[in-house]
Amino acid sequence: MAKSQERTAPVRCAVYTRKSSEEGLDQAFNSLHAQREACEAYVLSQAGEGWTLSPALYDDGGFSGGNLERPALQRLLADVTSGRVNTIVVYKIDRLTRSLADFAKIVDRLDAAGGSFVSVTQAFNTTTSMGRLTLNVLLSFAQFEREVTSERIRDKIAASKAKGMWMGGVISLGYDLRERELVINEPEAETVRRIYQRYLELGSVNRLREELERSGVRSKAWITREGSSMGGVVIGRGALFHILQSRLYLGEIQHRREIHPGRHKPIVDRTLFDAVQQRLSDNRVVASRRQTRSASMALRGKVFDAEGVVMSPSFAYGKSGRCYGYYISMGLQVGERPACDDGVIRRVAADGLETFLLTLLRRLLDRADLARFDVAALVQRVELGRADTQLVLDAAAFFEGRHRRVGFQALQSRLEANEQVYWEEGGADAVRIVLPLRLQLRGGRTSFSGGASEARAARVDRGLVEALRSSHAELLILAVSPLSPASALVDGKAPSGPHRRQLSRLPFLAPDLQRDILEGAQPRQLKLRALLKTELPLLWSEQRALFAGARAPRG
């Protein structure tokens, strides 16, 4: 009886089909249908053994068997792991994979889930060593066949390009495809010549991109076989560099490092093309020199704008030939156009910022001998906020071995009105100084503006405010108040999950602390993470003492 039950135990089968190319998939009955029909018939023949077929479809049309990055296969393996499927049925083993290494991975996942697979046209038993050996030999030949086919395709492409033939891909601006040959599209060809000529005159890809965008010049537009519209967008920097360096416009075909005469006609003459390449090469040399100069900038990689974007070194030359350094947000350097009224400082003069920091550090350290290169050792981070400027200083270098409490108190005593100092979250290795002013670029010089009221408004912690709102909403759902006894809670209404239980403590904060949170005037130590991880005192006076202002570390 036990043997009979074991023999008729349900076998949950799923049919997997695959076809390498998309050719013919739009037919009413294609290769995927033929594979599925044969597999379903095989599963039906085993119904007496308890085999059942999953209604889910696992079809990968247009996917190679050389890797596992196939959506239907990934869904199937996930169902095997979850137990919804325990047997994979395929028409041939190479439909599942053509890679020996991938086959081993699939078998490991099947073994871990207690599953197996069946090939309808090939008899295999993966539970025996001989069966696995036979499969490995077969897959080795399948992988060999795939690699030989790839080599043949590569050789054919190389031979065709040596004859000057265009071997497919996205058609470049300036050409159309007719009978597998590139022919010149004259209106687009004029655009390509204009791009080459204007680059020589402007000498900058960024300025060229802006000019083309203003003129309404767009990339090549075309319709795919499926009827979708592609292209016709603003030409970006990367696309412009590709156009300016493409030897296709010389009437040539490039295959790796080899150049062959093409069958198509050129759009750009060699004199213009060579002049553009020389200009590109000269600009690369200048960029390399700028990178060398940037290594000497003290705050390289340490300046951030109000959005947390790093401000990288950049240079410009004045009329006298003098080089000026700036810290500029990455968005500006790649040609983005941010809103002018968002209050974010995205450009600041390097000399002005470093001079300001040097003056500030001399006051805070009471050291007139502090040099400009000392700034890099002391400053870990500079944040140019919308209404304030915040510095993170290295505590060990700043206090120079002095007792941290003594050094911190001395630092506090040298702060001016509305300046604040805190121990940076995460330990006593850094201190943060908040200055109620903005450093911004005006007329090429760094100026200062703003005040304490603006700085306070900029420090509203949206996450903390939202958590406070959610916690009060939770109390309304529970129909209790913060002062209600535990017995007032109805069974099943208690907050579920550790995070919600932690949030439910926020209404117990002192009313003045909650008001400060809403106004952005809360102490800097009062962070959501600290509230959730700290054992909150019930007495409001103890809460105020816990979060009151800047506190020196112990010991």
Q: What is the CATH class of 2-147?
A: alpha beta
Q: What is the pLDDT along the chain (555 residues), one digit of tens a residue?
A: 344 444 456 788 999 999 988 887 878 788 899 999 999 999 998 888 888 998 899 999 888 887 888 999 999 999 998 888 988 999 988 888 877 778 778 877 888 888 888 888 876 656 557 767 777 776 677 677 778 878 888 888 888 888 888 787 788 898 988 888 889 999 999 999 999 999 998 888 888 988 998 888 888 888 877 777 888 888 888 888 889 988 889 988 888 778 888 888 999 999 999 999 888 887 775 554 554 455 556 787 888 888 888 888 877 766 666 677 888 887 776 666 665 666 788 888 887 888 888 888 888 887 777 777 778 788 888 888 887 888 888 877 777 756 667 777 777 777 877 788 777 755 557 888 888 877 765 555 555 555 443 344 345 566 777 788 778 877 776 665 555 555 555 554 566 667 677 777 788 888 888 877 776 667 767 777 777 777 778 888 888 888 764 433 333
Q: Is 352 helix (H, G, I), strand (E, B) or coil?
A: helix
Domain boundaries, the chain: 2-147, 175-282, 303-458, 462-546
Closest CA to 424 of 388, 361, 381, 465: 381
Closest CA to 265 of 184, 346, 379: 184
Distance CA 31, CA 17 (A): 9
Residue linked to tokens 């050094």: 407
Kindly state the tokens that stand for 364. 């805070």
Kindly state the tokens that stand for 264. 């198509």
Backbone angles phi, psi at 92, to 5 degrees: -140, 155
Residue linked to tokens 């000399």: 351
DSSP letters for 467-530: HHHHHHHHHHHHT--TTS-GGGSPTT-SPPSHHHHHHTTGGGS-HHHHHHHHHT-S-TT--HHH
User: Would you say 268 and 252 are in contact if contact means Cβ atoms under 8 Å apart?
Assistant: no
Distance CA 101, CA 92 (A): 17
Distance CA 126, CA 93 (A): 12
Distance CA 258, CA 266 (A): 18
pTM of the model: 0.39
Distance CA 446, CA 488 (A): 61
Furthest-apart CA atoms within the chain: distance in Å: 100
What is the CATH architecture of 175-282?
Answer: Alpha-Beta Complex (3.90)
Residues in the chain: 555
